[in-house]
Every structure is written in structure tokens, then in C-alpha cells.
Structure 1
Amino acid sequence: MRVLWLPVLASAALVSACASVETPEPVATAAASAPAPVPGYDWHYTPEAGAARLAYGVEESDDLRLGLDCMAGTGKIELTVLAGTGQREIQLESGGETERYRAEGEPSELHDGDILTATAASREPVMQRFRRLGWIAQWIDGEREVYAPHPGSENGVERFFALCG
């Protein structure tokens, strides 16, 4: 007789365990919100006679994480980054859009590694998402560095793209 009660008890325990489980609340994902700015680093917009530069780094220093340059109305953006010696690719991501750029490199005289340059089109999805969101990330050696603006500097991102075309 004891053997017959074992399946009944197991079923009762299972039903009771299922009845006590609450439906989890939806959790907001990190992608749903803008990344936080990094103290000391920001976007710096510099217009100059038919051209513009948008640089992420420490103002008035050699500490540049990502530089974007363009001539007015061309729709072409020259990317500049610091990278490890021998690397020849720049990988950018913004709001789920990603792009890899084949880059030229030369040794840096100020930092260990190379200075990479590549050309991007302002109409590419990753660039348009950057324009809308105001932040972009760079993947370096499998690590993601996010470049988010401090309040007020996101206007420079829009001004850069408006000038570039």
C-alpha cells in the first residue's frame, strides 16, 4: 500500500510547488536606456571652414578614444582611433547596429600601438543610430567601450551630422 501513496504525494508536492511560483515581472534591459557618461570624457564638436571634427576624449589632451572628421556635404566620415600594434579593423556599435571598418594603420608617436584610420558613410545604419542616440561604442580586443555624451554635448553630434550630410 505504501508504494501507491508515493506517486500521489509526489504529484501533490509538484502541484503545490507550481502553485506557489509567481510570474516574474518584465525586467528592463540595459539596451533600453542610454549608457552613462564617463567622468572626464565627452564629445567635443569643432567646426572649421567647411569641415568639422567630432572627438570623444579628454578636452585639450592627447587622450582621444574616437575621432570623426568630415568635409561639409560629402557624407564621408574619416574615423581615427588608437589601437594595438598590427590591428587593422575598427568595430563600432550603436543601439544594436554594428559595423566593421577595414583600417590603415601607422605607429603612434604619443601612445603604445598604432593610429588607425578608416572611412565611413554618414548614412550607414550604425552612424544614423549614433546620430539619433548620441552615443556609440567601440569594440577593442573583445571589450566594449561606450562613448556617451554629458548633458549638452549631444547637440554636437547632431551638428556634426547636419554639416557632413
Structure 2
Amino acid sequence: MSRLKLIPPLLSVAALAACATQPPTADLSPAASAPAPTPGYDWIRNTDEPPQQALVYGMAHSDEVKLQLFCRPGSDTLDLAAILDKPARQLRLESGGDTETYRATFEEAAISDGYYAQARASTKDPVFQRFRRLGWIAVWDGDERHAYAARPAALAEIERFFAACG
């Protein structure tokens, strides 16, 4: 066999060996870039007002609330409420690369500085399905992004909320 005929197979083997010896790359999946929980804040599920379910991001036993999700069990519909620094006619949410923008109404917040924005959404929207899996969602307030990440113990409450909502 001629030496020239051996060159293509040897090049193929060398190329495969080079691929196999590359250092591992960083995990660029949305879960790998998840925000860390904020000290003192978490997702809290409230079932005190049947039949309505509520999932609230804030400080336990306080009026410090950043985002609220409400539903009637089995409805697939979410009522959203967020406290924003700036008035907004849209509520923009993001989770793990999925982004949705909802038409919102707003008014001055009564219990805190800022504005109370309200919108309606579906539990089936990709941003909420991603939030359900990852345990964090971000709210855009103008050009500022505020991420609301769950502590590990709250992940089960997020799942229970979405399971109840439908």
C-alpha cells in the first residue's frame, strides 16, 4: 500500500483524537446561569383565601412584596401584580431565556414607593413553564432587571401552585 493512501485515514484519526482531548466547555444552559436567592426574600405560597391560590415573592410576615401571582384552581389563568419603580403599561418577565411581555395597568403603590402594575397571563406561557422548572423569574423595570430566585425549600411550593392552577 502506498504511503499517500494512508494519509487521509491518519488525518481522520488525528482529527477525532483532537476532538476527544478538548477541555470541557462551561455549561451555558439557562439553569447554569440562574440568579442566587436574595437574603430575606423567597417565594411563599398562600392558600388562606380559597378558592384563590397565591404565590408571592417577598419577605415573610411583611408588606415587602415584589411580585404576586394569583389563580383560581384549574383555570390556567394568572393575575400578576408587581411593584415597579417606574410607571409601565407593560409587564415584562423573563426566566431562563424565555421572555414574555404583558399589557399592564398601573397605579401608585399604596404601601410602598413606586407603582403597582397588574396584568393577566396563562400558566401555559413559556416564561411560566420555565419558571416552574428553574425556580426563578425576572421582572424588567424600565432598563433594570430584577431576578427573583427561590431557595431550595420553596421549589416544592412553586410546583404546588402551578399544579393547582392547571
Q: TM-score, normalised on structure 1?
A: 0.80
Say yes or no: does 1:66 pair with 2:67. Answer: yes
Measured in 2, the distance between the counterparts of 1:84 and 1:37 equals: 21
Secondary structure of residue in 2 paired with 1:40: coil
SS in 2 for 1:162: helix
Alignment of 1:22-101 (within 5 A): 26-29=25-28, 31-33=30-32, 34-47=34-47, 48-101=49-102
**Long gaps (5+) in structure 1:** 1-22
| Superimposed CA distance per residue, residues 32-57 of structure 1 (whole angstroms, 9 cap, x where no aligned partner) | 42321111000000123222100001
Establish whether residue 164 from structure 1 lines up as the match of residue 153 from structure 2. no
In the other structure, the counterpart of 2:117 is 116
CA contact (8 A) 1:37 1:149 kept: yes
SS where residue 75 of structure 2 aligns?
A: coil
1:130 aligns with 2:131: yes
Distance in 2, matches of 1:116 and 1:73, equals 24
| Alignment partners' CA distance in 2, 1:142 and 1:133 | 23
**Over aligned residues, Cα RMSD in angstroms?**
1.7
Identical residues among aligned pairs (%): 44
Q: Which moved more, 1:39-48 or 1:77-86?
A: 77-86
Deviation at 1:24, TM superposition (A): 7.0
Closer/same/farther in 2, CA of residues 39 and 137 from structure 1, 3 Å limit: same
Kindly provide the CA deviation profile for residues 8-36 of structure 1, in whole angstroms up to 9, marking residues without a partner as x. xxxxxxxxxxxxxxx77523337342321
Deviations 1:44-96 (A, max 9, x none): 00123222100001111121111001111111100001123432211101111
**Structure 2, unaligned stretches of length 5 or more?**
1-21
1:104 alignment counterpart: 105
Larger Cα Rg: Structure 1 or Structure 2?
1
Matched residue type, 1:31: P
TM-score by length of 2: 0.79
| Conserved 8 A contact 2:86-2:114 | yes
Say which SS state the counterpart of residue 153 (structure 1) adopts.
helix
Distance 1:145 1:85 in 2: 13
Corresponding position of 1:20: none
Q: How many residues align?
A: 143
Superposed CA deviations along residues 104-128 of structure 1, whole A, max 9, x for unmatched, are 1111122222211100100011111
* Cα separation, 2, equivalents of 1:96 and 1:164: 23
Structure 2 distance, partners of 1:104, 1:57, is 21
8 Å CA contact 1:85, 1:107 repeated in 2: no
